A and B are shown apart, each in its own frame.
Chain A
Amino acid sequence: MFVNRCVLRLLVLPLTAVLSAFVLPAGASADGHGDAAIEARWVALGSAAGVLGAKLPPPADAPYDVPGGRAMDFVGGSIFWSEATGAWDVRGTTLEAFLAAGGPAGTLGFPAAAAEPVGTTGAQFQVLTGGHIYSSTTTGAHAVQGAVLAKYLTAGGPGSRLGLPTTEETAVPGGTRTVFEGGQIYRSSTAAVVVVGAILKKYLALGTSAGFLGMPTSDETSAAGGSRFSVFTGGRIYWSSATGAQDVHGAILKRYLAIGETRSYLGLPTTGEYAVSGGRKNRFTGGHIVYRSGQGTVVTGTWRPSVQRVTAAQIPYTYRPGCPLGPAGLRRVMVPYYDWAGVPRHGELITRTSAADDLQRVFKRAFTARFPIRQMRPVDVWKGSDIAAMAADNTSAFNCRKVTGNPYRLSQHSYGNAIDINTVENPYVTSSRVYPTAGRAYLNRSKVRKGMIVGSGPIARGMRAEGWPWGARWARPDYQHFSANGG
């Protein structure tokens, strides 16, 4: 330590001597009150019996000029003074780190306060005009400055997951990195970002900023299902306790984001990207995405239906007191389907309990065949309006309501064993109207287009297998309609 301080003194003394020949260095005291402040600080700390110990032997027993101020060395440390900060002592490994960074002439500037303990950890930190120095017996002393320091403090400082710094800020491809006990802070020209935990471990395994992921651009963020993710210039890493940390990048990531990411049917990645025949693949909790050059990405879901009980509060518009079938006799059947873009989604059908198994089998057949369904939501979304639900090209079953114009007649859908599918592509034709209006474009049934139900297709075949007759057979056909009792 003494050697270092002597080097500092040798370095700065000639410089200050030259400068003082022309102009008094900024902060240097012409009247000697800086020296007085240093002396007062030493005395306040207990003089020779204090933490700084005795003064050094002559000729080193006096303050000397440093850029912007004055300094004086003691057996146990040094005191630095500037007009702006006053006189503060710097000791131990903190002093070593301070001097290694250039002392007051470096970017750390002058100490601005005494060293303070970091909680009860035994560590300490000292505030300087250009940063902080954190030190402990296990981590040593390291300076944290600028944007990294701001991020560190925002993240909670030494009390956070990051803990204490274990390195100085060092250059890496794309920016810098500062290593902490529990994570790392990466700084690029645009941001300083924290990477911690399992995501950091994965990032390190993938080559950090030198790898395909590049520099991180966001802190770890919460996502669906208690998961977390970090964003990098070249991809993302997702983590959950069930799936671990997995990377997603490139075209697969682009598609994953487009379909709703962690909130999509696919859920969280369960693997990183890996090679398959002719392409690349990521697996997810709900399926997988495959990328093949020239073909783009294909999203495939895993068949995962579920059946849940229904409460009246969940169906306030389609169930009301007086309905022949109450919530206890209904089920919320969650069946996967492929939407118009070929993306698997969670469909929600309200059906009578006895119809739940039939419809699961039908929609499994449709799912396997990737039969597209526009949307599958309870009619409550449209406040019970069958007309609005049809116009929205919805697929739905239960809707307890009266037949228009007849308070003594219930709709077939009141019993939860009738279903309308892709209502626009499969319209209902009455003697005078087509429901919905947009369904007119699909009256030519020989011209098969996306979403149309045809006799040889998976929907019609599945319904036939379950014994649900199709309304298409009627003189005034209802191409969207199937029911368990044929009505």
Chain B
Amino acid sequence: MSVATARDAAAKPEPGTLRRVAREYLRSPGATIALVVLVLVVLAATAAPLLSPQDPYDLRQVDVMDNLQPPGSRSWGGMLFLLGTDGQGRDIYSAILYGLRTSLVVGVLSGVLALAFGTLIGLVAASRGGFADTLIMRLVDLQLSLPPILVALILLVLLGNGTDKIILALVVVQWAFFARTVRGVAMVENARDYMDAARGLKLSPLRLLFSHLLPNCMPVLIVVGTVQVASAISLEATLSFLGLGLPPTEPSLGLLIANGFRYMMSGNWWVSVFPGLALLVTIMAFNVVGDRLRDVLNPRLQP
């Protein structure tokens, strides 16, 4: 698919200006809503300490006496538990905001690192060609043929838990998508007139790569990046749910859901359901925005 993506992106006469892309993007009401939701989610995660009534991980602010209160009830001190509390008396709404923060940081950071690494590898493959290209692409095929969850499981079992380790595992799982995409685009762009012209000017190879080739790969990279961040967040949540990702001191949404699972069996559904909804909304927002960007940046891919 990515090769087709690449060809279509290149066949387009000119990458639209930012304003034109924005106008085109906003023509779809669903995608506009998704974008607004995405911005809100990011803002909420950033401003978590300001928006949440308590710091759920500050023991002085949490009272075990308030445990498993249903949504809408009030604490002994009169604080409103909008979405109820968990088994330790933590406000779920606050925990979601803090968890969202962790999930987003892990998802975006691993996405950006995978993008940087994958792009570099993809550019090397495209500009070197020959044996290096064959070797890299075989490696990419190999990586893509293994299910991400399996690779991540293996790595985390070997490395142990920790924020840095889960980010590493997510980068390993994702880099190949970027490498394949960039290599496809770069191959097409490399054969075009402006690259010939730039080569004719005897510009240094690094300058060719970074100021001529790379900017023309950006539209596709942004699309793949958005979708990959969504899948990274989802995978991290799944791994945390299995107890294999982040340490319990910084619970992401996945860990919140896992903790709530125990209470669900005894009828306290809110502990698990609300973090799950937050996760679902976040991932869907990323996916819808990514899909729309793909349509806007590559008009030929529209069904």
Q: Do A and B form a real pair?
A: no
- Taking beta carbons and an 8 Å cutoff, which residues of A are in contact with B? none
- Taking beta carbons and an 8 Å cutoff, which residues of B are in contact with A? none
